[in-house]
A = this chain, B = another copy of it.
Amino acid sequence: MEPDIRRSSGIVPEMLREYGAIVREELQHYLPQREPRRFLYDLVADYPQRGGKMMRSSLCISTARAFGASLEEALGSAIAIELMHNALLVHDDIEDESEERRGRPTLHRLHGVPLAINAGDLLSLMSLRPLLDNIDFLGPELALRILEETDLMAQETAEGQAMELGWRQENTTSLQTSDYLEMVLKKTCWLASIYPIRIGALIGTRGQVDLDAFFHFGFFLGASFQIQDDLLNLERDDGRYGKECDGDLWEGKRTLMLIHLLKHSSPEERERLCALLSCKREERTHRQIRWMHKLMITRGSIQHAERIRDRLRDQALIEYDRLFEHLEDSPDKRFLQEIVPWVIHRDVA
């Protein structure tokens, strides 16, 4: 019997552990050991040292290797991806007023907003360093193409983040599924999957590849990842999920579930929801959050999001065939296939 490709074997966590350990180790060399430690470099090193799935960097390495590159050739870009990812987490946590990250208080809660903004700024620009070091390993032409991709990714990511923040700030309550998917494409998919896979493919093929071909796979994979992330946020905190439970509801985040709920609630419920969403975070009560959560269950909003997530997963698997099936079999190729169901069945945020 054929294995069910919508299920994931153990290869994904295994390779995330393996590649993650290497990237984390090498990333240390990019964290300066100098003053000012207490006001800057301790903060810069904090999120990268808290762990994390290392999904983004592993996607880059496995794509590069599946196309024939060595791990060493992809390592600098993988480190850059993790630095940029952590930089954005620091600033996102301030923007979202998040309280926990990877099981600990967020950086700005530990050190105040000013120092956390500054540390995030440096982390972001520090991701340039390994991309410049790429020149020695990949030559100037390929290194510069990767920098070009970085520029594109940064723009898309900021656009997506602006959309989401703007909706919350203006208390937009008339969004469609397509608005959410466009926002997630930009906010999440570029850095989570499109960019890592594209630069992996650039490295693996020495620039001999049409990057546009990878766009859809990255989108389907990243979007199902984000929807699952939003769903995990609604599950009980059992210690494995590193953020506060129902954090998205406290923050008024425009998830698929919330967009669905706003469309499928009674006029009275909708009115109450809109009023609740227009409040500041600290004005909301536990009781109100529980009510919103329950309503999402009874109105089928969670099932609705699960259905869309699963459809995106199926699309990602079709794209996988088109992009990678012709490549020689390898653990990296299997990783790229099995990460598709993994993003849904993982139990870590």
Chain A residues with CB under 8 Å of chain B are: 32, 35-36, 38-40, 88, 91, 94-96, 112-115, 117-122, 124-126, 128-129, 132, 135, 140-141, 144, 147-148, 150-151, 154-155, 158-159, 161-163, 165-166, 169
Q: How far is the CB of A117 from chain B (nearest CB, A)?
A: 5
Residues of B within 8 A of A147 (CB): 128, 132
Sort A-B residue pairs by CB-CB distance and give the 4 closest, nearest first. Answer: A39-B166, A40-B162, A95-B114, A122-B158
Residues of B within 8 A of A140 (CB): 140-141, 144
Residues of B within 8 A of A112 (CB): 169
Residues of B within 8 A of A144 (CB): 132, 135, 140
| A148 and B118 alpha carbons, distance in the complex (Å) | 20
Residues of B within 8 A of A162 (CB): 36, 39-40, 115, 118-119
**B122–A154 contact, CB under 8 A?**
yes
Which of B122, B154, B169 sits near A114, CB closer than 8 Å? B169
**A158–B121 contact, CB under 8 A?**
yes
Count copies of this chain in the complex: 2
**A158–B114 contact, CB under 8 A?**
no
Known contacts A135-B144, A155-B122; is-contact A166 B38 (Cβ 8 Å): yes
Residues of B within 8 A of A126 (CB): 151, 154-155
Which of B95, B117, B129 sits near A95, CB closer than 8 Å? B117
Closest residue of B by beta carbon distance from A38: B166
| A40 and B186 alpha carbons, distance in the complex (Å) | 13
**A129–B114 contact, CB under 8 A?**
no
| A128 and B158 alpha carbons, distance in the complex (Å) | 15
| A36 and B158 alpha carbons, distance in the complex (Å) | 10
**B117–A117 contact, CB under 8 A?**
yes
Q: How far is the CB of A290 from chain B (nearest CB, A)?
A: 26
Closest residue of B by beta carbon distance from A143: B144
Q: How far is the CB of A149 from chain B (nearest CB, A)?
A: 11
Closest residue of B by beta carbon distance from A44: B158
**A151–B166 contact, CB under 8 A?**
no
| A38 and B162 alpha carbons, distance in the complex (Å) | 9
| A94 and B113 alpha carbons, distance in the complex (Å) | 9
**A91–B115 contact, CB under 8 A?**
no
**B148–A132 contact, CB under 8 A?**
yes
Please name 17 pairs of A and B residues whose Cβ atoms are closer than 8 Å in the assembled complex, sorted by A.
A36-B163, A36-B166, A91-B118, A95-B113, A96-B114, A115-B162, A115-B169, A121-B124, A122-B155, A124-B125, A125-B154, A125-B158, A126-B151, A128-B128, A132-B148, A140-B140, A140-B144
Residues of B within 8 A of A135 (CB): 144
Residues of B within 8 A of A159 (CB): 35-36, 40
**B118–A94 contact, CB under 8 A?**
no
Residues of B within 8 A of A114 (CB): 94-96, 165, 169
